[in-house]
Amino acid sequence: MCNRRIQDIFILICFYLGAAGLSAQQPQLDMIQSRVSDNPVVAGEGITRHLIMGDNLMAQGKFENAILSYDNAVAQNPYFAEAYIKRAIAKYRLGRLSEARQDYSFATRINPYVGDLYGYGNNLRKLKVLAFEPYQMAGRLSLGRRLEYYENLLEPAYGAEGSMDINSRIGALTTLIEQFPNSSGYRMQRAVLYIRLGEHQRAIDGLNAALAIEPDNALAYNLMGLAYQENEALEPAEKAFEKAIELEPGLAAGYYSLGVVRQQEMRYQEALELFDKATALDESLQVAYFHRALVHKAMGNVDAAMQDYSRILGQDGAAAPQIWLNRGITRKMSGDIMGALADIERAISLSGEEDAVLYKMRGNIYLLLGNYLAAELDYTRSVGIDPSFAEAYYNRGIARILAYNRPDACLDFQESVELGYGRGEEQIQYLCSY
């Protein structure tokens, strides 16, 4: 009898030891499986329910209760990074910094993007996971706006330009050139119109003809440089701008134009010096202030950039949407998110047509503010305007992840990859499984 009892106790000890061994192995098993259920939808719904409950409690300031909800999400899957980062944020709010750092460290080992995704410690960290590259619209004023300066420098050929379309104006100037073949001015005016139309070689040919008549015409060289620049031929553009400055050291447009080339080459200090020279020679040269602000922004000189934007916006005729857009971007960099939203909304209202970049930019602002539904709507509008806009699909995926719509988010990441945006592939790896 005694032996039988000893045997039962021995079996019971072995059972507990075996159970303990299985328990010790369970995290490794979970890592291999990376799921808590054979059905990932069921698993995801369980985790999401606890996370949403925790988020609602966080919004009410009930951080202790929120931590309990996040604990339940962690229990559902000990290798789900988002549960840890949310619990870290709740602990951070309570001042439990050591515990918060532990959760943060574990979360970022599982998913290196999760701290930025949820703005741990600073909501602007979300910019690191968003597609936030410079676009041509954000990097320069419209061609028409830049050509206005040259048109103002050239004497008008006749009195009815405003009522004529561009082709009629070219026809009228061609007639004048035939009547006055030795007029370099008419050829330069026609070249400006050709640049507007994107007919760069015709503009260059016309300017060469003007220089054959007047070899020392600095403005003709400057316009030729602009034609080359628009045709993405930076080396001949640079030489033409340098020649313009050599012929007329007081030509503000020459310094401005060469500064733009230096900006494109990311030689920012040289660009700043050239823009300073241009504005000193002509205080009304708004395009120089605009590009100087872009360089300040690229160098992280936010206050100097804001001063230039404010100067432009204080002058007549300065309501170009690109100016408001870029000031909004600069405000976002400085942490003034509401100011950035106001500027970008102003840019949208001033834009003459639906612009995918503007809606994508406003979507970024809404996402930083935590309004994920509004962000998703703007990204959707953006891809509706431009179905090939890979970065807008990618950002919509980020918004949908944050709004707990993981299946559609992963479709967006996949679409961004197929359109050539490589970062979407990384997000699929880290965010598209439970």
- Give pLDDT tens digits for 27-84: 332 332 233 333 444 445 678 899 999 999 998 999 999 999 999 999 988 988 999 9
Query: What 3-state DSSP class applies to 252?
Result: helix
195 phi and psi angles, rounded to 5 deg: -65, -40
Average pLDDT, the chain: 82
* Cα radius of gyration (the chain): 31
Question: At residue 406, does pLDDT exceed 50?
Answer: yes
If asked whether residues 12 and 78 sit together in one domain, one would say: no
Question: At residue 123, does pLDDT exceed 80?
Answer: no
The reported pLDDT for the residue numbered 23 is 36
Neighbour-count burial of 1, counting CB atoms closer than 10 A to its CB (0-12 exposed, 13-18 middle, 19+ buried)? exposed
Neighbour-count burial of 224, counting CB atoms closer than 10 A to its CB (0-12 exposed, 13-18 middle, 19+ buried)? buried
Question: At residue 166, does pLDDT exceed 60?
Answer: yes
If asked whether residues 25 and 38 sit together in one domain, one would say: no
Q: What is the mean pLDDT of residues 292-301?
A: 86
Inside any domain, residue 200: no
Closest among 366, 396, 402, 399 to 86, alpha carbons compared: 402
If asked whether residues 14 and 47 sit together in one domain, one would say: no
Inside any domain, residue 57: yes
Inside any domain, residue 362: no
The reported pLDDT for the residue numbered 301 is 87
The reported pLDDT for the residue numbered 413 is 93
Using CA atoms, how far residue 123 sits from 59, 192, 337, 343, 373, in Å, is 15, 46, 10, 20, 17
CATH code of 74's domain? 1.25.40.10
If asked whether residues 91 and 42 sit together in one domain, one would say: yes
Inside any domain, residue 39: yes
The reported pLDDT for the residue numbered 425 is 82
Q: Which of residues 136 and 33 earns the better pLDDT score?
A: 136
Closest among 318, 364, 392 to 141, alpha carbons compared: 318
Tokens 């500064």 -> residue:
259
Question: At residue 394, does pLDDT exceed 90?
Answer: yes
Range of the domain at 14: 1-29
If asked whether residues 55 and 92 sit together in one domain, one would say: yes
Q: Which residues, other chains included, contact 258 with Cβ-Cβ below 8 Å and sequence gap of 6+?
A: 238, 241, 242, 245, 274
62's tokens: 């009930």
Question: What does the alpha-carbon distance between residue 177 and residue 34 come to, in Å, rounded to a whole number?
Answer: 76
Closest among 106, 59, 41 to 78, alpha carbons compared: 106
If asked whether residues 4 and 78 sit together in one domain, one would say: no
Model confidence band, residue 209 (pLDDT cutoffs 50, 70, 90): very high
If asked whether residues 15 and 58 sit together in one domain, one would say: no
Q: What is the mean pLDDT of residues 254-263?
A: 91
Neighbour-count burial of 223, counting CB atoms closer than 10 A to its CB (0-12 exposed, 13-18 middle, 19+ buried)? buried
The reported pLDDT for the residue numbered 34 is 31
Q: In the listed set 105, 121, 137, which residue is the last one of a domain according to the structure?
A: 121
Model confidence band, residue 148 (pLDDT cutoffs 50, 70, 90): confident
- CB of 287 closer than 8 Å to CB of 146: yes
Model confidence band, residue 225 (pLDDT cutoffs 50, 70, 90): very high
Helix-strand-coil split of the chain, %, nearest 5: 75, 0, 25
If asked whether residues 113 and 72 sit together in one domain, one would say: yes
Q: What is the mean pLDDT of residues 350-376?
A: 89
Q: Which of residues 434 and 331 earns the better pLDDT score?
A: 331
Query: What 3-state DSSP class applies to 427?
Result: helix
Count the domains in the chain: 2
Question: What does the alpha-carbon distance between residue 223 and residue 196 come to, in Å, rounded to a whole number?
Answer: 12
Inside any domain, residue 95: yes
Please tell me what DSSP assigns to residue 36. Answer: S
Q: How far apart are the first and last CA of the chain?
A: 52
Closest among 263, 228, 265 to 243, alpha carbons compared: 228
User: Cα 50 from chain centroid?
Assistant: 33
pLDDT by residue (tens digit) across 185-195?
899 999 999 99
Q: Which of residues 278 and 133 earns the better pLDDT score?
A: 278
Of 18-32, 66-80, 149-163, give the lowest mean pLDDT range: 18-32
Inside any domain, residue 137: no
Q: In the listed set 53, 88, 121, which residue is the last one of a domain according to the structure?
A: 121
Of 12-21, 109-118, 200-209, give the lowest mean pLDDT range: 12-21
Q: In the listed set 102, 121, 140, which residue is the last one of a domain according to the structure?
A: 121
Question: What does the alpha-carbon distance between residue 44 and residue 327 come to, in Å, rounded to a whole number?
Answer: 41
If asked whether residues 16 and 91 sit together in one domain, one would say: no
Question: At residue 206, does pLDDT exceed 60?
Answer: yes
Inside any domain, residue 114: yes
Buried b (16+ CB within 10 A) or exposed e, 32-52: eeebbeeeeeebbebbbebbe
Question: What does the alpha-carbon distance between residue 61 and residue 270 come to, in Å, rounded to a whole number?
Answer: 51
Inside any domain, residue 346: no
Query: What 3-state DSSP class applies to 265?
Result: coil
If asked whether residues 81 and 39 sit together in one domain, one would say: yes
The reported pLDDT for the residue numbered 35 is 33
If asked whether residues 116 and 38 sit together in one domain, one would say: yes
Percentage above 70 pLDDT, the chain: 83
If asked whether residues 66 and 105 sit together in one domain, one would say: yes
Q: Which of residues 47 and 160 earns the better pLDDT score?
A: 47
Question: What does the alpha-carbon distance between residue 345 and residue 321 come to, in Å, rounded to a whole number?
Answer: 9
